[in-house]
Amino acid sequence: MPIEILVGVDAGATKTEAIAIGVDGTYIGSGRSGPSNPASVGVEISCINICESIVSSIRGRRAEEITLIGIGLAGWAGGVWDRDLISCISNRIGVSRDSISIAEDIDVAHYSAFLGGEGVVAILGTGSNFLGKAGGRVIRVGGLGHILGDEGSGWRIGLLGLQMVFKSIDGRIGPTTLVTKAYKHYRVDSHKELLRIIYSSKDIKSLIASFASEVFQAAKEGDKTAIEILRQEAREIALAYRAIVENIGSQMLAIVGSTYKM
Amino acid sequence: MPIEILVGVDAGATKTEAIAIGVDGTYIGSGRSGPSNPASVGVEISCINICESIVSSIRGRRAEEITLIGIGLAGWAGGVWDRDLISCISNRIGVSRDSISIAEDIDVAHYSAFLGGEGVVAILGTGSNFLGKAGGRVIRVGGLGHILGDEGSGWRIGLLGLQMVFKSIDGRIGPTTLVTKAYKHYRVDSHKELLRIIYSSKDIKSLIASFASEVFQAAKEGDKTAIEILRQEAREIALAYRAIVENIGSQMLAIVGSTYKM
C-alpha cells in the first residue's frame, strides 16, 4: 500500500512553493510555481499556481494519495477567499475538500519558527508582516499590503529604489548606480521605456520587488542612496518589532522571507 | 447666426472640468464630470467623462456649433492615447476630429500661468508634475505617476496620512487625530473595513487623494504626524523646483491644482 502524503504549501505574492512528505516523514519532493496571493493575482490564478506546485511536489504520484494539504497563504485577509480556493483546488486536482486547510502565512511562519512557543516572527518577502505571541497574548503589526504598508519588504525597497532612479534622472538628487542597474535589470534603454514597463505590468508587485536585490547590491558596493534606503527600511522593521515587544514582553525574533536573505 | 463655441477641458485624475466661451469671448457655461486620466481609468471612461463635461458646458447648444475643443490631459504619456480619444470624442458628441486638440496638462498649465513666457509651473492635484521654460530651455521634473512619483500631490499626502493611520492603530507610532478622521472620512467602524474599502476600490487614486484634505485639517489643528507629512512633501516640492531653477535660471513659480488650494 502506498504511503499517504502530506503537502505543505507556501503561497506567496511572488512565488508558490510546495513540499510533500509521507506520513512517516520520508521526503517525497518539492514543487514551485508563480504567485498565489489572491489579493494581488485573484482566486483563479492563485488556485492554478497552488495546484501546479502541489502536483509537481508529489512527483507523479496520484493526488488521491494525499491525506492533507496545509496552505500558508499571503494576503489571507481573514479567510475571505478560503471557501472559493478550497473548492477550486479540490476540483482541479481531485482531493476532497476536507483534506485542504488554509491558514495565514504569518501564522504558519510563527509556528515553524517557535513550534507553538513564544516569540516574534517577521515575514520579509515581497510584502512584510509581523506577529508576536507570548503569555496568551497575540499581537499583529503591519501586514497591510503594498499600498498601505509592507514596510521593510522587497516591494518597499524596490519601490524606493526605483523612485530614486527617476529622481536621479530628472536631477532632483545626484547620481546613483541604481540608474544603470535599473536599465540593466529591466532591459531598457530609456526612462520612458522603464516607466511604460512598470505601469503596464499585470504583476507590478513582483516586478518592483524584484529590484530590491539591485538595491542590496548597490548598497554593498557603497552607493549612498541605496544605503539610505536600507537604513530607512531597517528602522521600519525595528519600529514594528518594538511595537510588539512592548506589548508581549518576549524578545525572541525570527525573520523569514526572501528579502531577508538578500 | 449662432456664435461659434470654443471649449477648454481640464482632464484630470479625479475630475474633469470644461469651460465654453464664444469666439467673441462671451462666457457660455462650464461643465464637470468624473476622472479622465486615461492612465488610471482607461480611454473609454476618459472619453465618456470628457464628453459629459463638454456637453454640460455648452448649456443645451448643439455640438455642431463647437469650433475647437482644447484638452489638457493628465497622464498624457507622449500622446499614446490621442488618436483613440479624439476618435471616441468625435463619434460620441458629433464634432469633427480636426476640431479636437489634446496637449499635456502641464503644458496647458504653463501657458495659462505665463502666456508663453518664462517660468516654472507646478501642478499639485491628485498627482504632481513640474515644468520650467526659459531661454529656449524646457525642463521637466516629476510627473511620474502614483507608483513612482507624484511627490507633493494629494495622492502622496493622502497615502502617507493613511499609512500613519494604520501605524498608529497597531502601535508603531503614537496617537494621531488622523485615525478618527479616517474612520469618519471613509464612514467605517474598523480598520479592517477601511482596508477592505481601499484595496477593493476601482479608483484608488481618487479615494486615497481625497484623504489629503483631512491631513491638511489635522495639521491646522496641530496634529504632529500630519504636520510632519506636509513638511516632508513641501521638501519634495522644493526639491523639484530647485532641480528646474538650477537648469533654466528663471525663478518665477506658479502653482496650480486642487491640493495647493487646501
- Domain CATH for B163: 3.30.420.40
Looking at the structure, do residues B166 and B255 belong to the same domain, yes or no? yes
The per-residue pLDDT string of chain A (262 residues; one tens digit each, 9 = 90 and over) reads: 567 999 999 998 889 999 999 999 999 999 999 999 898 788 999 999 999 999 999 999 999 999 999 999 988 877 888 999 999 999 999 999 999 999 999 999 999 999 989 999 999 998 999 999 998 899 999 989 899 999 999 999 999 999 999 999 999 999 999 999 999 999 999 988 898 899 888 888 889 999 999 999 999 999 999 999 999 999 999 999 999 999 898 788 999 988 777 7
Contact present, A237 and A124 (Cβ < 8 Å): yes
Across the interface, which of B139, B149, B195 has its CB nearest the CB of A148?
B195
Is the dihedral angle over the CA atoms A166, A151, B224, B127 positive or is it negative?
A: positive
What total of structural domains would you count in chain B?
2
Question: Are residues B170 and A204, on separate chains, in Cβ contact within 8 Å?
Answer: no
Looking at the structure, do residues A126 and A204 belong to the same domain, yes or no? yes
Which pLDDT band, with edges at 50, 70 and 90, does B107 fall under? Answer: very high
Please report the pLDDT score of residue A237 as a whole number. Answer: 96
Looking at the structure, do residues B139 and B211 belong to the same domain, yes or no? yes
Question: Are residues B172 and A239, on separate chains, in Cβ contact within 8 Å?
Answer: yes
Going by C-beta distance under 8 Å and a sequence separation of 6 or more, which residues neighbour residue A6? A20, A21, A22, A23, A66, A67, A68, A69, A70
Looking at the structure, do residues A163 and A208 belong to the same domain, yes or no? yes
User: Searching chain B, which residue's CA lies closest to the CA of residue A161?
Assistant: B148
Contact present, A37 and A128 (Cβ < 8 Å): no
Domain that holds residue B10: 5-108
Looking at the structure, do residues A172 and A87 belong to the same domain, yes or no? no
Across the interface, which of B78, B147, B199 has its CB nearest the CB of A145?
B199
Please report the pLDDT score of residue A2 as a whole number. Answer: 63
With CA atoms as reference, report the closest residue to A71 among A29, A15, A9.
Answer: A9
Q: Which of A82, A108, A134 is the last residue of a domain?
A: A108
- Which chain B residues are Cβ-neighbours of A39 within 8 angstroms? 199
User: Searching chain B, which residue's CA lies closest to the CA of residue A141?
Assistant: B170
Question: Are residues A147 and B159, on separate chains, in Cβ contact within 8 Å?
Answer: yes
Question: Are residues B141 and A192, on separate chains, in Cβ contact within 8 Å?
Answer: no
Looking at the structure, do residues A103 and A123 belong to the same domain, yes or no? no
Q: Which range, A131-135, B108-112, B161-165, has the best average confidence (pLDDT)?
A: B161-165
Residue B253, Ramachandran bin (φ over 0: left; ψ between -120 and 50: alpha; else beta): beta
| Cell matching residue A230 | 536600507
Question: Are residues B141 and A247, on separate chains, in Cβ contact within 8 Å?
Answer: no
Contact present, B171 and A247 (Cβ < 8 Å): yes
Other CB atoms within 10 A of residue B59 CB: 12
| Cell matching residue A110 | 510563527
User: Searching chain A, which residue's CA lies closest to the CA of residue B42?
Assistant: A200
pLDDT tens-digit readout, B73-102: 988 877 888 999 999 999 999 999 999 999
Question: Are residues B163 and A148, on separate chains, in Cβ contact within 8 Å?
Answer: yes
Question: Are residues B162 and A148, on separate chains, in Cβ contact within 8 Å?
Answer: yes
Which pLDDT band, with edges at 50, 70 and 90, does B1 fall under? Answer: low
Looking at the structure, do residues B91 and B140 belong to the same domain, yes or no? no
Q: Which of B58, B85, B108 is the last residue of a domain?
A: B108
H, E, C per residue of chain B: CCCCEEEEEEECCCCEEEEEEECCCCEEEEEEECCCCHHHHHHHHHHHHHHHHHHHHCCCCCHHHEEEEEEEECCCHHHCCHHHHHHHHHHHHCCCHHHEEEEEHHHHHHHHHHCCCCEEEEEECCCEEEEEEECCEEEEEECCHHHHCCCCCHHHHHHHHHHHHHHHHCCCCCCCCHHHHHHHHCCCCCHHHHHHHHHCCCCHHHHHHCCHHHHHHHHHCCCHHHHHHHHHHHHHHHHHHHHHHHHHCCCCEEEECCHHHC
pLDDT tens-digit readout, B137-155: 999 999 898 999 999 999 9
pLDDT tens-digit readout, B12-68: 888 999 999 999 999 999 999 999 989 878 899 999 999 999 999 999 999 999 999
Looking at the structure, do residues A218 and A123 belong to the same domain, yes or no? yes
Looking at the structure, do residues A70 and A97 belong to the same domain, yes or no? yes
Q: What is the mean pLDDT of residues B196-218?
A: 92
Q: Which of A53, A76, A108 is the last residue of a domain?
A: A108
The interface pTM score, or ipTM, of the predicted complex is 0.83
Looking at the structure, do residues B97 and B179 belong to the same domain, yes or no? no
Size of interface A-B (CB pairs under 8 A): 73
Looking at the structure, do residues A249 and A124 belong to the same domain, yes or no? yes
Looking at the structure, do residues B102 and B123 belong to the same domain, yes or no? no
Instruction: For chain B, positions 159-218, list CB contacts with chain A under 8 A.
Output: 159, 162-163, 166-167, 170-173, 192, 195-196, 198-199, 204, 208
Across the interface, which of B144, B149, B198 has its CB nearest the CB of A148?
B198
User: Searching chain A, which residue's CA lies closest to the CA of residue B163?
Assistant: A148
With CA atoms as reference, report the closest residue to A45 among A210, A200, A202, A201.
Answer: A202
| Cell matching residue A71 | 496552505
- Is the Cβ of A141 closer than 8 Å to some Cβ of chain B? yes
